[in-house]
Structure 1
């Protein structure tokens, strides 16, 4: 394999990873919007929040890895955002808050930035 073909494989795998991340965020955003609209009955409402929480726990773990290729400052910023999302999802799930507007907005921004 030549160096240029290796670079093409690496670039393609990065695009594929971003596409999978976008797809997961799309699913989470859809669940949050359904929760916001009151379209989810218990226990689906809790499952929606647990999904977004687990998704961001996965992202935070990946971002924490030294093998993650993103710049350190960007990784730190995304980890901070991820930890906020996890805490906010927990607050809503524990009924200490009921507004998912900011969760939706932040997840949409992150998803759109992956494009």
Structure 2
């Protein structure tokens, strides 16, 4: 029987968490890009934006948790990006004609940083 060391388990947990986060960003980006390309409005656009909002609500809560193991400065920077994303989501919801390009660009950068 193979026994895992504690450090191996922690390393795997971090890798799995980043992979799940990357997949969540992939889904958000697919939704945003589809809506943007189609010029979609209504429920499809709202669902894409709501997904991004939900994703960042979860991420911000995790980043603010004192148990989060990321360096404090990185956590603060990511919370700042999350706050910008939430403001942009509000603007996009208020103005259906507003482009989703900024949300796509910023969330692509964050997703790419998870690799």
Question: So what's the TM-score if we normalise by structure 2?
Answer: 0.91
Aligned positions, number = 112
C-alpha separation in 2, matches of 1:39 and 1:16 = 34
1:24 equivalent in structure 2: 24
Q: CA deviation at 1:39?
A: 5.5
Q: CA deviation at 1:35?
A: 1.6
Q: CA deviation at 1:38?
A: 2.1
Give structure 1 regions of 4+ aligned residues with deviation exceeding 6 angstroms: none
Deviation per CA, 1:13-44: give whole Å up to 9, x if none. Answer: 10000000000000000111112112545211
Give the direction of change, closer, same or farther, for the CA distance of 1:96–1:42 in structure 2 (3 Å limit). Answer: closer
Contact kept? 2:18, 2:114, Cα under 8 Å: yes
C-alpha separation in 1, matches of 2:10 and 2:67 = 14
C-alpha separation in 1, matches of 2:17 and 2:62 = 12
Question: So what's the TM-score if we normalise by structure 1?
Answer: 0.91
**Long gaps (5+) in structure 1:** none
RMSD (CA atoms) = 1.5
1:93 equivalent in structure 2: 93
**Long gaps (5+) in structure 2:** none
Q: CA deviation at 1:87?
A: 1.1
2:108 equivalent in structure 1: 108
Q: Report 1:32-111 matches (<5 A).
A: 32-38=32-38, 40-95=40-95, 98-111=98-111
